[in-house]
């Protein structure tokens, strides 16, 4: 990678804390990876003393792959390239005893956490559960304890939720478990309170590179400060114009706070864009300049002006979807072998907008991928079954034990698990080993002891046959014994239980087929499933398919052809943001959407849209009005050129499909 002067300066600067303001498409990942190489090969840093921290596993993998291509494997041994949560987990595993946890503590996912909260709330409904879970997460991200909230609460709901928070945290400690937020919160608190541990990690991680620093919450920023110390040997890379995650606790003000905390900090701006045409960047710059600025910057590129940005008024959402899909088919046909379906992205504000585009794409027989769609293996009912499989394969899997023992409910609750945890911690064993112990069982009330013994006897019986039996038959029998189908049907509303049971049946059918074809028992299949879940994201990235994605999920990605749809008041900007006078983040979201496009950007909005069965007539998004009008080609509304009717559009699409089918058949 050839570096421009600003990139080179960012790579070579080691005079103290450095903030790199990296505009969209300005090569920030290249700067981070080149700086890792520079630190190790030119300056002589040991890889053990360098850490690059980002937000997603995908970004971490990309960095690791780039570094791997630049440096021999022996030169990177010990290098840390991971997410904030992975780093927090590493610290917690090593320092668990300092916070009263065992090293193999359990990590609960959102579903497991929700089950605990639902018990504490007394089953008050999904909306109340979601609201409570979200609020507790934000409090944790702000490093606030239940006591902090109770002392400062301005309303009764916060006080009641703080009490639930306290009970929730006590349950986690009983379980020797942490949730996703705790993976950063607990290390931050530990480093704050323990000088010896803090100094140990500062000496280990002597240079820190932090990606997407505009997305850090209070907890993450605190952890970063504690690791870097007063010397501030770090490079933080970010862009205040792309801060779009306030709803999950991200605090753009951390960039301002960084200047106050490190007055000697140097700031370098990366403004040359290596992705988009000059016209796309001109439109993006014009929109974002309406926001107040922490740091002023202007993106530019050497790719020439490029095409005008199309702004298309569609009659309604059905017309919008069919028109967009027609354009994709047309451009794919015109582009020939050089154009792939993966070159196209349809971006929208909310997940609910995807359905109608899915229908249009399926009708046109165009392959597509739904970004952020739930993996089969992430569905709650599948994770329930996998917990039993994992526990059969590895009795030392504490998270699997927690899930299996409590799903379906069988009288094993907080009191039982708390005593098992205490025994396991005292004797250095797993929860399953503790459950087998007569000594641990004797500490339980008679009813609780009986329930635990029944569960252990069930698992021991199936473990005895796990290495030999047909995997599908084994799990089918187990599900019958625990009455899992009845559990789903009794605990889900409407047809949701039936749908979930069908998913479970699909899993057991797959297990049976895998067992017969490959001759694998349940132990071996458990390892196969673990590997599949790790590789699933990679396979998704490689498919040649149109990408359907929310604007939030599209951040960091790029496509030659982008359709930014539903750009109306109430959609983008979102109605809630307008109501709360918080349009600035919506504008940053629009900026992110615009700057995903490399060559061609099309913006659509509907003249009317049906909401809750009623036609509404929204105004085009205010952000369209903020764009330089001379760079727009407006179609379909007053003063603009007409677009084809719905009937003509369908006819054209059918013709294009026929041409595409004939071309494919010929090849």
User: Distance between CA 391 and CA 293 in Å, rounded?
Assistant: 53
Backbone angles phi, psi at 559, to 5 degrees: -145, 145
388 lies in some domain: yes
Residue 21 pLDDT > 90: yes
Q: Could you say which of 95, 182, 211, 384 is catalytic?
A: 211
514 has a pLDDT exceeding 80 = no
Any domain includes 276 = no
For residues 28 and 67, membership in a common domain is answered with yes
Q: Are residues 86 and 21 both part of a single domain?
A: yes
> For position 484, what pLDDT does the model report?
95
For the chain, what is the mean pLDDT? 88
| Region 288-310 average pLDDT | 93
C-alpha distances in Å from residue 140, one per residue of 134, 171, 182, 183: 10, 16, 7, 10
Instruction: For residues 360 and 604, give the distance between their C-alpha atoms in angstroms, rounded to a whole number.
Output: 16
Instruction: CATH number of the domain at 620, please.
Output: 3.40.50.300
In 3D, which of 631, 599, 161, 550 has the Cα closest to residue 338? 599
Which stretch, 115-119, 264-268, 518-522, has highest mean pLDDT?
264-268
Domain-embedded: residue 573: yes
Q: Which two tokens stand for residue 585?
A: 């983040």
pLDDT at 474 > cutoff 60: yes
Catalytic residue, candidates 6, 7, 28, 600: 28
End-to-end CA distance of the chain: 38
Cα–Cα distance measured from residue 546 to residue 561, given in angstroms and rounded to the nearest whole number: 10
Picking from 504, 535, 566, the residue at the C-terminal end of a domain is 535
Three state DSSP letters for 564-615:
ECCCECEECCEHHHHHCCCHHHHHHHHHHHHCCEEEEEEEEEECCEEECCEE
State the CATH number of the domain containing residue 152. 1.10.10.160
Q: According to the model, what pLDDT value does residue 233 have?
A: 93
- Tell me the CATH number at 408: 1.10.486.10
Domains contained in the chain, number:
4
How do residues 627-638 score in pLDDT, each as one tens digit?
Answer: 999 999 999 865
Q: Torsions phi, psi of 72, nearest 5?
A: -65, 155
Distance CA 345, CA 325 (A): 11
Same domain assignment for residues 527 and 400: yes
Residue of 379, 378, 274, 354 lying closest to 546 (CA atoms): 354
Query: How many Cβ atoms from other residues are within 10 Å of residue 151's Cβ?
Result: 10
Q: At what angle do helices 5-12 and 28-37 cross, to 10 degrees?
A: 40
The catalytic position among 133, 228, 242, 441 is 242
Contacts of 221 (CB under 8 A, 6+ apart): 213, 251, 254, 257, 258
Of 567, 632, 556, 562, nearest to 597 by C-alpha is: 562
Question: What pLDDT, on the 0 to 100 scale, is given for residue 256?
Answer: 86
Q: Which of 127, 124, 125, 152 is nearest to 139 (CA)?
A: 152
Dihedral sign for Cα atoms in the order 69, 72, 74, 75: negative
* 562 beta partners: 345, 601
Residues 530 and 558 both lie in one domain: no
Instruction: From 535, 570, 592, give the residue that closes a domain.
Output: 535
Cβ atoms < 10 Å from Cβ of 233: 20
Is residue 216 within 8 A of residue 237, CB to CB? The reply is no
97-137 pLDDT, tens digit each: 999 887 767 788 787 888 889 888 987 788 899 999 999 99
Residues 370 and 395 occupy one common structural domain: no
pLDDT at 276 over 80: yes
What is this structure's pTM? 0.78
Is 634 a member of any domain? yes
Where would I find the H helices in 142-273?
Answer: 146-152, 156-175, 182-193, 195-204, 218-228, 253-261
Domain limits at 121? 106-175
Domain's final residue, options 145, 175, 205: 175
Q: How confident is the model at residue 208 (pLDDT cuts 50, 70, 90)?
A: very high
- Tell whether the model's pLDDT for residue 607 goes beyond 60: yes
Query: Is residue 282 domain-resident?
Result: no
Average confidence (pLDDT) over 467-489: 88
Q: Is the pLDDT of residue 467 over 80?
A: no
Residue numbers in the known binding site for ATP are: 22-29, 275
Question: Going by C-beta distance under 8 Å and a sequence separation of 6 or more, which residues neighbour residue 603?
Answer: 309, 310, 311, 312, 563, 564, 565, 567, 624
Q: Say what the pLDDT of residue 482 is.
A: 95
Residue 533 — very low, low, confident or very high, per pLDDT cuts 50/70/90?
very low
Residue 535 has pLDDT above 50, yes or no: no
Q: What would the pLDDT profile of 56-112 be if each residue is shown by its tens digit?
A: 888 888 899 999 999 988 888 999 999 999 999 999 989 999 998 877 677 887 878
pLDDT in tens, 557-579: 999 999 999 999 999 999 999 99
Is 596 an annotated catalytic residue? yes
Residue 443 confidence (pLDDT) above 80 = yes
Do both 459 and 510 map to the same domain? Answer: yes
Please tell me whether residues 171 and 192 are part of one structural domain. Answer: no
Residue 88 included in any domain? yes
Task: Please report the pLDDT score of residue 538 as a whole number.
Answer: 39
- CA distance linking residue 140 with residue 146, whole number of Å: 9
Report how far residue 213's alpha carbon sits from residue 331's, in angstroms, rounded to the nearest whole number: 37
Q: 543-552 in b/e burial notation, b at 16+ Cβ within 10 A?
A: eebbbbbbbb
Active site residue: 419, 596, 598, 600, which one? 596
Say how far residue 660 (Cα) sits from the centre of its chain: 36
Residue 608 among the catalytic residues: no
pLDDT at 423 over 50: yes
Known catalytic membership, residue 119: no
Please list the helix, strand and coil fractions of the chain in percent, rounded to the nearest 5, in that order. Answer: 60, 15, 30
Same domain membership, residue 381 and residue 370: no
528 in catalytic set: no
Answer yes or no: 212 catalytic: yes
| Residues placed in the known binding site | 22-29, 275
How many CB atoms sit inside 10 A of residue 481's CB?
Answer: 11
Q: Which residues contact 394 (CB under 8 A, 6 or more apart)?
A: 400, 526
How far apart CA 589 and CA 552 sit, in angstroms, is 7
Q: What is the pLDDT of residues 652-661, one digit of tens each?
A: 556 556 655 6
pLDDT at 247 over 80: no
Residue 288 forms part of a structural domain: no
Judge whether 501 lies within some domain.
Answer: yes
Q: For the ranges 7-16, 185-194, 203-212, 245-254, which has the lowest average pLDDT? A: 245-254
Residue 375: per-residue pLDDT:
61
Residues 402 and 509 in one domain: yes
Looking at the fold, whether 390 and 462 belong to one and the same domain comes out as yes
pLDDT above 90 as % of the chain: 61
Task: Out of 112, 179, 182, 212, pick the active-site residue.
Answer: 212
Catalytic residue among 6, 29, 222, 657: 29
When pLDDT is cut at 50, 70 and 90, the band that residue 229 belongs to is confident
Tokens 């047909």, residue? 470
Q: Residues 579, 588: contact at Cβ < 8 Å?
A: no
Residue 359 and residue 215 share a domain: no
Active site residue 242: yes
SS3 at position 615? strand
Six token digits for residue 36: 């890792």
- Give the Cα separation of 269 and 10 in Å (integer): 9
Do both 588 and 463 map to the same domain?
A: no
pLDDT cut 70: percent of the chain above it: 91
């Amino acid at each position: 990678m050839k570096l421009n002067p600003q990139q080179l300066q960012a790579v070579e600067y080691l005079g103290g804390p450095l903030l790199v303001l990296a505009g969209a498409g300005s090569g920030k990942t290249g700067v981070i990876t080149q700086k890792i190489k520079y630190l190790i090969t030119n300056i002589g840093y040991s890889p053990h003393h360098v850490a690059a921290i980002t937000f997603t596993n995908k970004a971490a993998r990309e960095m690791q792959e780039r570094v791997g291509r630049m440096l021999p494997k022996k030169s990177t041994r010990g290098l840390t390239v991971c997410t904030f949560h992975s780093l927090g987990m590493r610290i917690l595993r090593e320092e668990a005893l300092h916070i009263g946890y065992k090293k193999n503590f359990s990590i609960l996912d959102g579903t497991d956490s929700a089950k605990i909260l639902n018990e504490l709330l007394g089953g008050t409904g999904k909306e109340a559960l979601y609201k409570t879970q979200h609020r507790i997460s934000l409090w944790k991200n702000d490093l606030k304890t239940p006591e902090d909230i109770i002392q400062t609460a301005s309303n009764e709901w916060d006080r009641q939720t703080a009490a639930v928070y306290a009970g929730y945290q006590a349950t986690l400690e009983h379980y020797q478990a942490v949730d996703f937020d705790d993976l950063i919160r607990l290390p931050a608190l530990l480093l704050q309170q323990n000088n010896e541990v803090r100094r140990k990690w500062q000496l280990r991680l002597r240079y820190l590179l932090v990606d997407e620093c505009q997305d850090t919450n209070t907890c993450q920023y605190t952890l970063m400060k504690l690791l870097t110390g007063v010397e501030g040997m770090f490079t933080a890379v970010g862009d205040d114009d792309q801060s779009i995650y306030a709803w999950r606790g991200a605090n753009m003000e951390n960039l301002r706070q960084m200047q106050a905390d490190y007055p000697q900090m140097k700031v370098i701006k990366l403004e040359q864009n290596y992705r988009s045409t000059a016209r796309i960047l001109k439109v993006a710059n014009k929109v974002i300049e309406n926001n107040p600025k922490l740091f002023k910057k202007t993106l530019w590129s050497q790719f020439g002006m490029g095409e005008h940005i199309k702004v298309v008024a569609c009659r309604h959402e059905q017309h919008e979807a069919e028109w967009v899909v027609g354009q994709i088919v047309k451009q794919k046909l015109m582009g020939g072998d050089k154009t792939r379906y993966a070159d196209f992205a349809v971006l929208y504000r909310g997940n609910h907008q995807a359905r109608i585009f899915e229908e249009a794409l399926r009708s046109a027989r165009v392959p597509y991928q739904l970004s952020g769609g739930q993996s089969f293996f992430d569905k709650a009912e599948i994770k329930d079954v996998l917990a039993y499989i994992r526990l059969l394969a590895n009795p030392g899997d504490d998270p699997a034990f927690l899930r299996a023992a409590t799903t379906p409910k069988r009288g094993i609750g907080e009191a039982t698990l708390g005593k098992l945890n205490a025994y396991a911690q005292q004797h250095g064993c797993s929860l399953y080993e503790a459950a087998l112990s007569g000594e641990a069982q004797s500490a339980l009330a008679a009813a609780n002891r009986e329930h635990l013994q029944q569960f252990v006897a069930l698992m021991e019986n199936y473990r005895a046959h796990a290495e030999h039996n047909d995997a599908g038959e084994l799990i089918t029998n187990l599900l019958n014994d625990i009455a899992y189908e009845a559990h789903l049907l009794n605990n889900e509303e409407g047809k949701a239980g039936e749908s979930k049971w069908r998913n479970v049946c699909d899993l057991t059918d797959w297990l049976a087929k895998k067992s017969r074809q490959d001759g694998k028992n349940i132990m071996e299949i458990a390892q196969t499933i673990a590997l599949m879940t790790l590789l699933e994201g990679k396979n998704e990235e490689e498919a040649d398919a149109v990408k359907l994605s929310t604007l939030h999920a599209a951040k960091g990605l790029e496509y030659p052809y982008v359709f930014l749809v539903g750009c109306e008041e109430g959609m983008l900007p979102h109605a809630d943001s307008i109501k709360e006078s918080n349009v600035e983040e919506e504008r940053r979201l629009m900026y992110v959407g615009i700057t995903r496009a490399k060559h061609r950007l099309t913006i659509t909005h509907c003249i009317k849209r049906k909401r809750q069965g009623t036609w509404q007539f929204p105004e085009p998004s205010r952000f369209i009005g903020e764009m330089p009008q001379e760079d727009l080609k407006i179609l379909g509304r007053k003063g603009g050129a007409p677009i084809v009717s719905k009937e003509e559009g369908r006819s054209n699409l059918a013709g294009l499909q026929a041409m595409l089918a004939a071309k494919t058949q010929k090849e």
